[in-house]
Amino acid sequence: MKLTYLTAIAMLVTLFTACNNNSSTKADAQENTIEQVAEQKPILEEVFADSTYQLTGVAVAKDNRVFVNYPYWLDSHSYSVVEVKDGKPVPYPDAEWNSFKKGEDGQNKFVCVQAVVTDDKGFLWVVDAAGIGLGKVYQHSSKVVKINLATNKIEKIYRFPENVVREDVYINDIRVDNENGFAYLSNSNTGGIIVLNINTGESRLVLANSPSVKSDPNYHFSPLGTELKKGDGSSLKVNSDGIALTPDNQYVYYKPLTDNRLYRIKTDLLRDFKTTETVLNKSVEDLGKFVTTDGMIFDKKGNLYFGDLEQNSIVKITPDLKMQTIVKDDEQLIWPDSYSISEDGYLYISNSQIQLMPWFHEGVVQFKKPFKVLRIKI
């Protein structure tokens, strides 16, 4: 299966990039069409609902423990990371880590958590962007926290030098490769990929000036039917956001949020900190146009899952880059945000309703509460 997957990808990349296999900026990228929804579409099941606070991330562990995170974006905020127990949110790993208030030291508390991810070794990884309200990093307190799920204790805290995570960097999502000892994070504000050596703690920001991490200014991102605009009237533009790691750990896939292009790069280039920016930029592969998405995730078979923000649906992209809608629900899939796949074959989906935030409606909240975590069998 591994050989088949790699062979299929190699053939298709050759097809899509025949004119310039290393270009990340070619204008004639393949635009992929979505196949019709299958008659036997999966059923969306509710896993968790919160009627008060806006959530963004979900992670499910091997024993089906479910974790959810809440960014500190709006004034209405309480805990940052919870474990769902009997349908209720319980601050995780403890109340102290979830007790941050503005003005306090955020080094050893969660400030503004953007994502939670479980790995294959029994750890929960928490991405604390520390950018309250999507603003500048609060007192240099951005970090990645690794928690041992067996003991519910913090295993390690990764911090970043200012030349990697400046005050205008918003670390967004993470994928972990325990086999090679690296993690990859997206920077959704200014754009770029942060490569983290999880053994030494060394890190660097790469591709920060690559067109592949910048949202296409000509794409009109319209999750509500018309282009989504901020309070100042400008169009919402979010750079590299969704990030995924292939099952064989050989490629990182990533894309800007507010356009439909998809890119990838080999991880061996990223892992070698001596690889120059020139080489990295030339090594980015443009896989073509698909749909807009926030998060994304690979299953063990090499299928890539997106949440189509403009169509309130979940799509699957097969290893041969064919795309199919697997479920659509205008009432429940309201900005499908982040994903996690359980051992028993369920895709967990958090719904953050970002397009209904007061930022885009003259300060008026438009949320259709509760905020939900859903799942479908894949």
Is-contact 48 36, C-beta < 8 A? no
Q: What is the pLDDT of residue 310?
A: 98
Mean local confidence (pLDDT), 117-123 = 97
> Of 27-41, 226-240, 251-265, 312-326, which range is least confident?
27-41
Asked if the model's pLDDT at residue 23 lies above 50, the reply is no
Amino acid 361 reads H
| Residue 31 DSSP code | B
Q: What sections of the chain are H helices per DSSP?
A: 2-16, 267-271, 277-283
**pLDDT by residue (tens digit) across 85-101?**
999 999 999 999 999 99
Number of domains in the chain: 1
- The Cα–Cα gap between 367 and 165 comes to 32
| Residue 212 DSSP code | G
Q: What is the pLDDT of residue 9?
A: 42
Is-contact 263 222, C-beta < 8 A? no
Tell me the C-alpha to C-alpha distance, in Å, between residue 220 and each of 160, 344, 378. Answer: 34, 38, 31
Mean local confidence (pLDDT), 9-25 = 41
Read off the tokens for 157. Answer: 């805290």
- The Cα–Cα gap between 260 and 31 comes to 9
Confidence of residue 41 (pLDDT cuts 50, 70, 90): confident
Asked if the model's pLDDT at residue 13 lies above 50, the reply is no
Beta strands in 44-80 (DSSP E): 45-50, 57-60, 66-69
Q: What is the pLDDT of residue 26?
A: 43
**pLDDT by residue (tens digit) across 203-253?**
999 999 999 999 999 999 999 999 999 999 999 999 999 999 999 999 999
CATH of the domain at 291: 2.120.10.30
Closest CA to 26 of 285, 252, 201: 285
Asked if the model's pLDDT at residue 2 lies above 80, the reply is no
Read off the tokens for 78. Answer: 């309480």
Say how many Å lie between the first and final Cα of the chain, rounded.
18
Asked if the model's pLDDT at residue 107 lies above 80, the reply is yes
| Residue 43 DSSP code | P
- The Cα–Cα gap between 25 and 23 comes to 6
Omega of the bond leading into 91 within 30 degrees of 0 (cis)? no
Non-local CB neighbours of 171 within 8 Å, separated by 6+ positions: 114, 127, 128, 129, 142, 144, 160, 165, 185, 186, 187, 194
Asked if the model's pLDDT at residue 25 lies above 50, the reply is no
Q: What is the pLDDT of residue 39?
A: 52
Mean local confidence (pLDDT), 16-31 = 46
Read off the tokens for 376. Answer: 């479908």
Q: Is 36 left (phi over 0), alpha (psi -120 to 50) or beta?
A: beta
Tell me the C-alpha to C-alpha distance, in Å, between residue 23 and each of 18, 216, 239, 322. Answer: 10, 16, 19, 21
Q: What residues make up the domain containing 73?
A: 2-377
Asked if the model's pLDDT at residue 62 lies above 80, the reply is yes
- The Cα–Cα gap between 150 and 147 comes to 9
Greater pLDDT, 46 or 9 = 46
Q: What is the mean pLDDT of the chain?
A: 92
Q: What is the pLDDT of residue 30?
A: 65
Mean local confidence (pLDDT), 122-136 = 98
Q: What is the pLDDT of residue 42?
A: 84
